Structure 1
């Protein structure tokens, strides 16, 4: 009897194995399609389209195109000095500093009965109009060019906060698919950036930087389309009398949290860590492309270098996720900040042409430099994201996280303007690069100074709570859907949950 049962079990196993489809090479193409179909069925195809349009095309591909296009636009069309271009780059990033404002608006101020759709439409309109103005105007004054580029940046920032709110809402209603949504966001952004940087130099070469701005109306138009197609329930009889009170409540809760010593100390470190890492990328870019003794890279080469740099950034995120995410904040920030400062010496070697003495051609050396810099920069950024998430009190997580990201963006703005001032003082111009090596040396030294401020960072385990219990349990603003704007999206992408 037992022998018959064993034979029956073996027959069943053989039948199951025969019925299972054999996995082949083409499964790697079918699996992503089935995965996207599953997400579309569970949450609606318009949401999947929105994530791909905003993260992949607008931020990923569009962000890559506008970075390379803007650098050549400032250098070849507006003909500004490197120090001026550095300051202007900081100005165009200002809309990302006021992200809490966009977050609060999408949370507490619906328009025409919808919370998300109008903001996508608004972001798309702003993007299309601003890019068309820069693209079509023959001799646009630098002030109006900056206003247009800043408006375009605002359109991307508004769309970013709004899609984060959609991801957060779906993560709450479909908790089992939260990790899949974060994978969709991360993959869309990474693939878009790789494609954008790969073709950015070619497009700039063929149609010029103004033509690239014209192409950027396509991502903005897709964001506008997301606002028309997004599946969102209509809210009737919304009381706008609640709006002022919610703004007041949110502001009070954020101020109370910021006054806590366990919160403002890490915030101060994060700001100083970014601000002291002076940004002189515009000076390096001019040297790459214009200096007589420099590499004289073509537009195509510049785009490919940036694309390989984004691969280094992706590798840094993977390394953090699978190897470093459980290390204490202070230890990890010490080593990443140290490596960040030391990696800047690669720029010094390049400018002093030491790489040629070692037999390393410029293109290979710059590719290595960009990849290492992006990977270490990502490793430095990831623990700060996790630390920021630990500083958010219950009830205002999304809005407070947006505030912390704004503090970081203020640090990046300070670094950009400080780098521009340094280039100006050292008289690094479009044609003079004699003191560029000194600017790099000063920047590298300043990158190491945050090591003296690590006492501001808690020693705690990244998996443990940081906030005192009396703050972490306070109630903040309540939205009808009890939604968070960014926390679910960003934290899940960091923690991989």
Structure 2
């Protein structure tokens, strides 16, 4: 199977032949300095405080907290609540509810200021919510399943609310400096993958020494730092003419929703959005079945708590390599070609799961500990290469003026796809009777998942053929502006040496 052809050569702009470049051998020092030079370039082209915000939210929040949350919560449901894997798969899908609500958080931060501030109070809100949710589930013993689930959803909501503001900044910068859109997503990918690596490496250690419930208390630390961030972030206070006028707020909300609806109705927008949604939904998750099988002493390989964390940490390293591969070799390829081959690679890598569950690796003489490293690395690299261009594509679909809320809308659509993926996975595990001790049909669930991954290739026609640095929205959309009631964002970190602005 081959991907659709690129645009005709005649339709492409003529390029001036580049001058010959004399190849130079990179020194070890230049290789070490290259990331710092790259960050310096991004800081000079954009705002250095924006770069710092990406590190805080993506690195500490989504990266570390997300990975630590994933491992520790799995052990909490398995060892403390003693829930079946199919039920945990459904519970994990509910974690995406706050992410589905991202447009709501976006509209709130855009149109409902608190004491004249639109951003800082919501960082504080996110921090307080995550802080109390993490402490509650760690301190209170014998929690009912419903209460424990609400606490974990609260932790997830804290991450989602904090994520909205930085996403708006990313979308705006990606539109205004389109040539840096792939670099911005590379930065986000590096931060989240590095944070995930640290979270996975430490998760097994803390579960072993503190237990699953005690380890969940550590999830209160990043939200506490979000509270601090809300007090040290500089933001221009809205003037009195904008503060407290309910009629103006209603008009702004109505204008935002109307503009979002008009934009999503363009084929250039809804077609790729539909592809991203379907590609995520059809890839239903069997993660909880794998996790229970990993730790089973009879049917599975009986991996220890520390090694389970190490497996995911290796996967995080694979994600970093995926970001590097994308950043170095793939960010200039057209969207359609890149997503076709990325999805194909992702589907092929899923077959390694099938080999592992069937234990064919032992027939081939490959030990479990070695094969799971190969499987996790291949899956995470291909997953990251598949995900990066979809995020870049999402930023390119956002019109100016409502880029923050519209990007949140696209991300919520993706979150709905992930929620459905988790839900479908739980239903499939239940139908195939995969339980805490019976994994006989786990391979059938994995096989069905892989077939759906390959079927996604037939939807590639929905993706545009344009390069990743090109704008492809109609002029009436790409230049769309909201009314003057929508102010420019003025968010930056307060200098640590001079802080003459008042705080909340």
Do they superpose with TM above 0.5?
yes
Do the aligned partners of residues 425 and 335 (structure 1) sit closer, same or farther apart at CA in structure 2, a change above 3 Å counting?
Answer: same
Of residues 298, 308, 333, the one that matches 1:327 is 333
* 2:435 corresponds to: 429
Cα distance in 2 between the residues matched to 1:379 and 1:79: 36
Q: 2:101 aligns with which of 98, 101, 119?
A: 98
- Aligned position for 2:153: 150
Shift of 1:169: 8.1
| Count of residues paired in the alignment | 460
The 3 A distance-change label for structure 1 pair 261 and 291 is farther
- Give the distance between the partners of 1:291 and 1:342, measured in 2 at CA: 28
The TM-score normalised by the length of structure 1 is 0.84
Structure 1 residues 316 and 57: CA distance shift in structure 2, 3 A: same
**Residues 254 and 184 (structure 1), Cα distance of their counterparts in 2 relative to 1, 3 Å cut:** closer
Residue 135 of structure 1 corresponds to: 138
* Partner Cα separation in structure 2 for residue 51 and residue 415 of structure 1: 27
What is aligned with 2:281? 275
Please state how far the C-alpha of 1:94 moved relative to its aligned partner.
0.9
Counterpart Cα distance in 1 of 2:54 and 2:396: 25
Which residue does the alignment assign to 1:392?
Answer: 398
Whether the aligned pair in 2 keeps the contact of 1:277 and 1:415 (CA below 8 Å) is yes
1:301 matched residue in structure 2: 307
Establish whether residue 200 from structure 1 lines up as the match of residue 203 from structure 2: yes
Deviation at 1:114, TM superposition (A): 1.6
- Cα gap change, 1:318 to 1:274, in 2 (>3 Å): same
Distance in 1 (CA, whole Å) between partners of 2:477 and 2:107 is: 20
1:76 aligns with 79
Q: Distance in 2 between matches of 1:404 and 1:75?
A: 33
User: TM-score, normalising length from structure 2?
Assistant: 0.83
Matched residue SS, 1:231: strand
Out of 474, 490, 495, which is 2:480 matched to?
474
Structure 1 residue 360 corresponds to structure 2 residue 366: yes
C-alpha distance in 1, partners of 2:201/2:105? 31
Write out per-residue CA displacement over residues 175-223 of structure 1, whole angstroms, 9 at most, x where no aligned residue. Answer: 9999998777555433322111111100011101111111111111111
Larger radius of gyration: 1
Write 1 or 2 for the structure with the bigger share of helix.
Answer: 1
Per the alignment, residue 116 of structure 1 pairs with 119
- 1:228 alignment counterpart: 231
1:342 aligned onto 2:345: no
Confirm or deny: 8 A CA contact 1:168 1:483 kept in the other structure: no
Deviation at 1:257, TM superposition (A): 1.5
Distance 1:158 1:186, change over 3 A: same
Residue 343 (structure 1) shift: 1.1
Structure 2 residue runs without a partner (length 5+): 1-26, 492-504
SS of 2:472 mapped into structure 1: coil
The alignment's C-alpha RMSD in Å is 3.2
Q: Gaps (5+ residues) in structure 1?
A: 1-22, 486-497
Q: Deviations over 1:275-306 (max 9, x none)?
A: 11110100001000125131111110011111
Partner of 2:268: 262
